[in-house]
Structures are given as structure tokens and as C-alpha cells.
């Protein structure tokens, strides 16, 4: 199996299954886009930020471009939600096995129950390359757009595309 950019066996298996060897940068722990910006220099791709949200019992992982303003009131109708709020770190760990600051679309590998709905900004869906944390906030990986879409297809995830 090709060397993969994470110690997590689920990500290693996913990348191995799909033949993905992404670009990668290791860095100190980052918790915000602002923390990560200096470490992303030289790593190609649209950089992202991720929101783990809830509407009652429904859970959403929303991936936006790093520079997109996250407007919860504007997102709610696009997701078919009534009132969005941030889900707790405990729910994040329970459903995606990821601590705050490390969540991203690769976290969906841990959603075996299919409890989390995934939404992505259309600009990212159409991007040539996209970046994400590989279940830890001490690394960032860069996948091609085709690899990103292959990951979601392999996981059985049908994203909600957001026109923002």
C-alpha cells in the first residue's frame, strides 16, 4: 500500500483503496483558518473551513472555502434546515471521531451510520484541488478534485452543493 498522510487506519485504507497519494504538509496544531494560513503556503488547492452544525437532531458537516463568510441564517434554507447552531464537541467526536479543529470532509470516513449530512460550497466541488485535515489538526493534505469526489462516492456520500 502507498504511504498515506496520516496515522489513522481508516484514512490509510481509504486512500489505499482509491490509490490516492495526496500532497501533504505537517505543521503544529492549528484550530482556525488564521492559525493554518502560514503553514498552507506552497500546498496547492482551495483551502477550507468546516462547520459541524445541527438543526434539532439533524447533523450537518459544511465545508466552505477558507475565505467564505459563514452565515448561518443564509445556510439554513440552503440545507432545508429551520435553525442551525453549532453541534457540541461531544457530538462531533461521537459521530465523526474527530476533535474540533481537525474536522473536514475526510472525517466522513468515521460516519458509519450515515448520520451526518454533508454540504460543500460549489466552488470547492468544482475546484482543481482541495485541502483538508486528515482527522488531525497537525497536517493538511491536498487532493485533486477528482480524488475529492471519488472519496465521497466511495463513502456513499451525496453532497448538498451550496451556491454561495
Domains observed in the chain: 34-162 (3.90.960.10)
Judge whether residue 1 has pLDDT over 60: no
Instruction: Report the pLDDT averaged over residues 100-108.
Output: 94
Reply yes or no on whether the pLDDT at 43 is more than 60: yes
Q: What DSSP designation does 103 have?
A: -
Return the bridge partners of 58, or none.
55
Between 4-8, 112-116, 149-153, the lowest mean confidence (pLDDT) is in 4-8
Q: The pTM is what?
A: 0.91
- The mean pLDDT of 78-96, rounded to a whole number, is 97
CB 131 within 8 A of CB 45: yes
Do 129 and 143 contact (CB within 8 A), yes or no? yes
For the stretch 116-149, pLDDT in tens is 999 999 999 999 999 999 999 899 999 999 999 9
- Between CA 73 and CA 71 the distance in angstroms is 6
Lowest mean pLDDT among 2-11, 20-29, 151-160: 2-11
Residue 7 has what pLDDT? 65
Q: List Cβ neighbours of 58 (8 Å cut-off, separation of 6 or more).
A: 81, 117
Helices (H), 19-144: 33-40, 72-79, 89-96, 122-125
CB-count burial class (<10 Å; 0-12, 13-18, 19+) for 153: exposed
Amino acid at each position: 500500500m502507498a504511504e498515506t498522510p496520516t496515522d489513522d487506519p481508516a484514512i490509510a485504507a481509504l486512500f489505499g483503496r482509491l490509490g490516492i497519494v495526496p500532497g501533504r504538509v505537517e505543521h503544529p496544531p492549528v484550530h482556525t483558518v488564521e492559525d493554518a494560513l502560514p503553514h498552507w503556503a506552497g500546498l496547492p488547492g482551495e483551502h477550507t473551513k468546516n462547520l459541524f452544525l445541527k438543526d434539532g437532531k439533524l447533523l450537518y458537516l459544511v465545508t466552505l472555502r477558507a475565505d467564505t463568510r459563514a452565515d448561518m441564517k443564509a445556510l439554513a434554507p440552503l440545507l432545508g434546515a429551520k435553525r442551525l447552531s453549532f453541534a457540541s464537541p461531544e457530538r462531533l467526536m461521537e459521530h465523526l471521531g474527530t476533535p474540533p479543529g481537525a474536522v473536514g470532509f475526510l472525517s466522513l470516513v468515521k460516519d458509519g451510520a450515515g448520520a451526518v449530512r454533508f454540504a460543500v460550497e460549489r466552488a470547492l466541488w468544482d475546484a482543481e484541488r482541495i485541502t483538508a485535515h486528515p482527522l488531525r489538526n497537525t497536517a493538511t493534505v491536498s487532493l485533486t478534485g477528482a480524488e475529492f469526489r471519488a472519496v465521497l462516492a466511495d463513502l456513499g456520500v451525496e453532497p448538498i452543493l451550496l451556491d454561495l
